[in-house]
Structure 1
Amino acid sequence: MPIRQLGELAVGAIGLGCTAMSAWYGDVDESESAKVLRQAHEYGVTLIDTADVYGPHTSEEAIGRAIHGIRDSVVLATKGGLSFADRENYRLERDGSPEHLQQALDASLRRLRVDHIDLYYLHRLDPNVPIEESVGFLGKQVANGKIRAIGLSDVDIAILDRANAVHPISAVECELSLWTREPLSDIVGWCERHGAGFVPYAPLGRGFLAGNVAPRATFATGDFRANNPRFTAEAIEHNMVYVKRVRAIAERHGVAPAVIALAWLLHQAGHIVPIPGMEKMAYLEENVKAARLTLSAAELEDLDTLPPAFGAAR
């Protein structure tokens, strides 16, 4: 697996997103997820990305059990600063105060069964807490050894500049994929200029770009996509153009559509490390191929000229 940098952290070019190790998209087979995580490690997938709110808590707990014996050879990333106000409707509350982050960090360390976290993100900006206060607290945790590096999730350039003035930001995590491209215009470039990595979440459009969503799909209770505007029947019908375009290129390369969607991301910049969810072994076996797949200029242009996606990203 080729290596890329998130600040000073060296990781495999493809990471493992562990949202699906909670019930975010429905029921979870923890035994299968653990097997996938350990096999991913064998393939050089070293960035393990989770958050305290996934579950909540169950993803971190599962990872804590799964990484026994390989902790020192993975880069463990988690997040704090969010909590559920309403789990059924996915309504979240933000709290970036040092008091909350202290409690969240200590709880994550216990659930993950580790003495430090390699990359700790502020999961969302708290409008009631200056970013300098949140990042200042996290900087102190770097100094005392509880975390190695600081990341921010879903922030703009102005916030990044203010945060980076307090403590170097090693990674920025935002949604980025073939059908959600906005960060390419600004945040990806900011990361390159400041020596930070860019970590796209939902790089496969929550399964859509992998061809895993049928035209008239319905989603189980508890599945995040059930309330997402991109996954209404009308939006799915309009957005099938993405699946058709990606699938045509995938067939030429003899790979799954997900491989093409991930390879497109990796071609955008050398500091991008996508974190697809790979809760099934079959997904892992295909997705890791993206790290060494080269798309032609014509194929990249074909993907770049896809129309804007139908429906808000979330």
Structure 2
Amino acid sequence: MRTLGNNGPSVSALGLGCMGMSDLYGPADEAESVATIRAALDAGVTLLDTGDFYGMGHNELLIQDALRGRDRDAVQISVKFGAQRDFDGNWLGYDGRPAAVKTSLAYTLRRLRTDHVDVYRLSRVDPAVPIEETIGAIADEVTKGHVRHVGLSEAGVETIRRAHAVHPIADLQIEYSLLSRGIEKEILPVCRELGIGVTAYGVLSRGLLSGHWGKDRQLAAGDFRSVSPRFSGENLAHNLALVDALRKLAVTKGATVAQLAIAWVLAQGEDIVPLVGARRRDRLSEALGALDLDLKPADLAAVESAIPHGSAAGARYAEQQMAHLDSETTTS
């Protein structure tokens, strides 16, 4: 178990990111998705991460189904809101207005069939709305008991400080992996200064660090990795060569590539909780094996030698999506 920041909840050391069960990675098996969530809970995972725009509500309904008959208070549900999409899945921008906070939360609570969410956060900073107004509206819902803790997502250092001045921030959700270490320079130190935890998504870099990716893999329609720079052409070949170097180390530890990559993130601090995006029970079981890896300083050094800081080829999102990342105003 780990605690999200100075004022956040106690959660399992690994959380389950549920996005891929509903969206952006191609088709998923709904029954297997529900079974995977339940298997995670049975294995001791308590943190489930979702967004109201993942499948336009579908992901929240999946979680509601998986939690049926279980103790709601034994689970922490983290929800992102604010992303605007149409029926065809097109991205229309972000809405952080106080009215949007309250409306989005009401719909989320109804889909989840619960009276509260444990962490509520704006998915991307809305440049048209001062962050103080968005956080203030979430804080109102904390007072009402509908939200337990306030989080942030992909926020830069100035936004983090401004938000935290309005209401204590439990955690910042942001990409962090061996291939994406931009937070280490400024964002992570500021979070630690303020007592804010980090829930790290993309710890396997959308599958690149899973050890299961091949250069000839065909992507299904709707899989956003088809437009991701790190999965394109020469970038992919370069990145897979890095994975091969990591694979050699994993063998010496009796682990898989994915387990070593997750264990590296776990080892970066007790204030960091990696989210694993397993969509199947076998992938979940593999990911949980990372908890059994004890990486010594020499192991960590070897991992970072295999995949040096900044060695990834290609940005973590396409250019249009990168423009929406407040965090990228201070990191790369």
TM-score by length of 2: 0.90
Aligned counterpart, 1:3: 2
Deviates more, 1:230-239 or 1:127-136: 230-239
Structure 1 runs, 4 residues or longer, greater than 4 Å off? 85-88
TM-score by length of 1: 0.95
Displacement of 1:193: 2.1
Could you tell me how far apart the structure 2 residues matched to 1:53 and 1:233 are? 30
Deviates more, 1:246-255 or 1:128-137: 246-255
Q: 1:70 is matched by which residue type in structure 2? A: D
Could you tell me how far apart the structure 2 residues matched to 1:92 and 1:224 are? 16
Q: Deviations over 1:273-297 (max 9, x none)?
A: 0111111111111111212311132
Q: Deviations over 1:203-236 (max 9, x none)?
A: 1011110122211333111001111111112211
Could you tell me how far apart the structure 1 residues matched to 2:288 and 2:66 are? 20
Could you tell me how far apart the structure 2 residues matched to 1:13 and 1:4 are? 9
Could you tell me how far apart the structure 2 residues matched to 1:191 and 1:232 are? 33
Identity of matched residues, %: 38
Decide which of 305, 310, 315 is 1:312's aligned counterpart: 315
Displacement of 1:158: 0.5
Aligned counterpart, 2:57: 57
Aligned counterpart, 2:326: none
Could you tell me how far apart the structure 1 residues matched to 2:218 and 2:39 are? 31
8 Å Cα contact 1:217/1:233 also seen in 2: no
Q: Deviations over 1:150-201 (max 9, x none)?
A: 0010011100110111000001001111100001222222222222210111
Could you tell me how far apart the structure 1 residues matched to 2:43 and 2:125 are? 34
Aligned counterpart, 1:18: 18
- Ranges in structure 2 where 5+ consecutive residues have no aligned partner: 318-332
Displacement of 1:92: 4.0
Structure 1 residues 14 and 92, CA, compared in 2 at 3 Å: closer, same or farther? farther
Q: 1:257 is matched by which residue type in structure 2? A: V
Q: Deviations over 1:92-145 (max 9, x none)?
A: 411100111111111111111111000001111100000000000000000000
Could you tell me how far apart the structure 2 residues matched to 1:24 and 1:149 are? 27
Aligned counterpart, 2:277: 277
Could you tell me how far apart the structure 1 residues matched to 2:134 and 2:36 are? 34
SS at match of 1:24: coil
Displacement of 1:85: 5.3
Could you tell me how far apart the structure 2 residues matched to 1:263 and 1:297 are? 13
8 Å Cα contact 1:255/1:286 also seen in 2: no
SS at match of 1:268: coil
8 Å Cα contact 2:8/2:171 also seen in 1: no
Could you tell me how far apart the structure 2 residues matched to 1:39 and 1:296 are? 30
Counting only pairs closer than 5 Å after superposition, residues 1-314 of structure 1 correspond to structure 2 as 2-6=1-5, 7-68=7-68, 69-84=70-85, 87=88, 91-305=91-305, 306-307=307-308, 308-314=311-317
Deviates more, 1:178-187 or 1:4-13: 4-13
SS at match of 1:40: helix
How many residues of Structure 1 are paired with residues of Structure 2 in the alignment? 312
8 Å Cα contact 1:16/1:45 also seen in 2: yes
Q: 2:313 is matched by which residue type in structure 1? A: F
8 Å Cα contact 1:85/1:93 also seen in 2: no
Q: 1:291 is matched by which residue type in structure 2? A: L
Deviates more, 1:96-105 or 1:233-242: 233-242
